[in-house]
Amino acid sequence: MTLSKWQPFKELSTMRKQMDRLFEDMLSVNDNDWMGLHNMGGMWTPAVEIEEKEQELVLKASVPGIDVKDLNVEVSEDRVTISGEHESEKSTEDKDKNYFHSEFHYGKFERVIPLPMPIKTDEIKSDFKKGVLTLTLPKVDNAPKKSVKVQLPDTDK
């Protein structure tokens, strides 16, 4: 057995490096997490994808389990803000139950998605099917800066 001298400052340095790595991992950007915001520090926000077509941008946001009445969507020329609340489905009968495991996210959320180009805020189309919000955002070269509330359909088709 070999004895080695205890070096407390070396151990602190190792711990600091591990903490730095933890924060880097938590805030890092990867292919499945655009801008590192999908699950930052345990806060849930909807996953999004933006597709550019010739005349428009198509933005899709995954909001499973959320009713359209619990969503708020606002669009300005350079960003889309999606906010809402995912309420727990626990009934009064379930209040005494203990769940073994749950990865569902409940509570309020907000996601601001910067747009790569200006869009026509007065010609936006929306659709909501199977927990996916789809916004069709027509492109424009010079749009006046304004923000509008998007009218969502009444039912989940």
Structural domain including 157 reads 44-88+105-157
- CA-angle at 126, arms to 39 and 116, nearest 5°: 60
Same domain, yes or no, for 128 and 146? yes
Same domain, yes or no, for 50 and 31? no
Residue 63 in domain: yes
For 5-16, what is each residue's pLDDT tens digit? 777 777 888 888
Instruction: Tell whether pTM > 0.85.
Output: no
Q: What is the CATH number of the domain that holds 130?
A: 2.60.40.790
Residue 71 in domain: yes
For 27-80, what is each residue's pLDDT tens digit? 654 444 444 444 444 467 889 999 999 899 999 999 988 888 889 999 998 899
Give me the chain's average pLDDT, please.
Answer: 79
Please compute, for residue 49, the number of CA atoms within 13 A of its CA located in the half-sphere on the CB side: 6
Same domain, yes or no, for 72 and 118? yes
In this predicted structure, the answer to whether residue 146 has a pLDDT above a threshold of 80 is no
In this predicted structure, the answer to whether residue 126 has a pLDDT above a threshold of 90 is yes
Same domain, yes or no, for 128 and 149? yes
Same domain, yes or no, for 13 and 82? no
Same domain, yes or no, for 74 and 109? yes
Write the secondary structure of the chain as one string of H (helix), E (strand) and C (coil): CCCCCCCHHHHHHHHHHHHHHHHHHHHCCECCEHHHCCCHHHCCCCEEEEEECCCEEEEEEECCCCCHHHEEEEEECCEEEEEEEECCCCCHHHCCCCCCCCCCCCEEEEEEEECCCCECHHHCEEEEECCEEEEEEEECCCCCCCEEECCCCCCCC
Q: What is residue 75's predicted lDDT score, i.e. its pLDDT?
A: 93
Looking at mean pLDDT, say which of 9-13, 100-104, 128-132 comes out highest. 128-132
For the chain, percent of residues with pLDDT exceeding 70: 76
Choice between 122 and 106, residue whose per-residue pLDDT is larger? 122
Residue 31 in domain: yes
Residue 95 in domain: no
Same domain, yes or no, for 33 and 109? no
Same domain, yes or no, for 134 and 82? yes
Residue 126 in domain: yes
Choice between 19 and 136, residue whose per-residue pLDDT is larger? 136
